[in-house]
């Protein structure tokens, strides 16, 4: 497992082996285990330290975060967990590496109930829509539903990433919540048969495939469009973004499936007081604004505005189904992906 340092202070394995009798770190610090890319959260950390004087130490892991916390046990230095979707938040809770935060007036005021664990083990910070990328040149319609993706009219015209990826598992889980397992299996089979190729790559690769003419529509997270539009380091991604329009599925009925970035208090947080200050900061209007501008997601705080770029995608109507209810179906969703052979691609 490779730990990534990108301009942030990262603590190493040696610190994890420090004596349990001594504090893991000095007062005035917090230790963050993060699935979020360091570059995306650095502005938040800088603002928090400027406001409070509390230093932040960040360990970035692209996988295995929960397993690491379990292995560290009571000696873990982790104070706060930052994750990128509901599946990972739920995984952390079920693995017993979080502790509840109940009755915090700041957090509960700023984060609506639909975006937090009923028992207080995790809290959503921003949302992103699981939207449809559609070719501006080859797709005339501007309305679509998830159910329509199984319509044979799209045969050979859809691209997606791996069906087992947590972003797709979240969507499939929401379909189960709305339609039941049997209907979702039929839908997923139809979607599979409409694929232009085997699922591959990330969400940005789906936009690239549309640009290249390999498919006409694709599933992707809304925030990737903003990241592509503003990518000066890889300007070809601006061309990919320019080739697509964002369609928000099910706008005329239940709304678009949304997922969250989120936070949780680590079970054995050695700097709990500072950790709670950080969590309150992340729920605040200041942090929500930074998040919205930096990562092109939607703030969960009522009344907080998304960035101008995100507004340019059009109006989103989020599905109001509680995320905890959706997450309860993720095991069934994963099993359906395998059952229909989704990752094998369309039947030839």
Q: Kindly report the CATH number assigned to the domain that includes residue 274.
A: 3.40.190.10
- What mean pLDDT comes out for the span 188-200? 98
For residue 227, CA distances in Å to 241, 268, 297 come to: 9, 35, 10
pLDDT tens track for 152-181: 999 999 999 999 998 999 999 999 999 999
Residue 264 has pLDDT above 50, yes or no: yes
- What mean pLDDT comes out for the span 222-245? 97
Flag whether 40 is in a domain: yes
257 SS3 class: coil
Nearest CA-CA partner of 290 in 41, 117, 87: 41
Based on the domain organization, do 65 and 192 belong to the same domain?
A: no
Based on the domain organization, do 190 and 322 belong to the same domain?
A: yes
- Helix (H), strand (E) at residue 220: strand 217-221
Residue 100 CB coordination number (10 Å): 15
186 SS3 class: helix
Nearest CA-CA partner of 327 in 166, 125, 96: 166
Q: Domain total for the chain?
A: 2
Local confidence band at 11 (pLDDT 50, 70, 90 cut-offs): very low
Give the residue numbers spanning the domain of 277: 13-126+260-304
Based on the domain organization, do 81 and 99 belong to the same domain?
A: yes
What is the pTM for the complete model shown? Answer: 0.83
Flag whether 340 is in a domain: yes
- Confidence (pLDDT) at 10: 43
């Amino acid at each position: 497992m490779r730990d990534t340092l990108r301009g942030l202070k990262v603590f190493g394995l040696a610190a994890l082996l420090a004596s349990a009798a001594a504090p893991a770190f000095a007062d005035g610090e917090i230790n963050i285990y993060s699935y979020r890319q360091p570059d995306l959260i650095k502005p938040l950390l800088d603002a928090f330290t400027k406001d409070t004087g509390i230093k932040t130490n960040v360990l970035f892991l692209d996988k295995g975060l929960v397993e690491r916390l379990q292995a560290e046990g009571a000696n873990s230095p982790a104070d706060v967990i930052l994750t990128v979707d509901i599946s990972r938040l739920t995984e952390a809770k079920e693995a017993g590496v979080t502790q509840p935060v109940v009755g915090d007036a700041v957090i509960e005021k700023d984060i609506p109930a639909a975006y937090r664990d009923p028992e207080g083990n995790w809290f959503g910070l921003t949302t992103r829509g699981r939207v449809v990328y559609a070719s501006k040149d080859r797709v005339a319609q501007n309305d679509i539903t998830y159910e329509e993706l199984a319509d044979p009219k799209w045969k050979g015209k859809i691209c997606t990433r791996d069906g087992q990826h947590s972003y797709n598992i979240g969507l499939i889980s929401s379909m189960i919540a709305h339609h039941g397992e049997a209907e979702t299996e039929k839908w997923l089979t139809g979607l599979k048969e409409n694929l232009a190729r085997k699922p591959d790559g990330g969400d940005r690769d789906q936009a690239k495939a549309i640009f290249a003419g390999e498919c006409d529509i694709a599933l992707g997270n809304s925030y990737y469009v903003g990241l592509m539009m503003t990518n000066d380091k890889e300007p070809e991604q601006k061309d990919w973004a320019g080739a697509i329009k964002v369609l928000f599925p099910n706008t005329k009925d239940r709304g678009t499936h949304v997922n969250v970035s989120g936070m949780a208090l680590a079970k054995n947080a050695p700097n709990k007081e500072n950790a709670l200050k950080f969590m309150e900061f992340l729920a605040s209007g200041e942090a929500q604004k930074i998040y919205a501008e930096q990562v092109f997601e939607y703030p969960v705080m009522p009344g907080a505005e998304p960035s101008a770029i995100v507004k340019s995608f059009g109006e989103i109507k989020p599905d109001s189904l509680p995320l905890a209810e959706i997450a309860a179906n993720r095991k069934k969703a994963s099993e359906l992906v395998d059952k229909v052979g989704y990752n094998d691609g369309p039947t030839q």
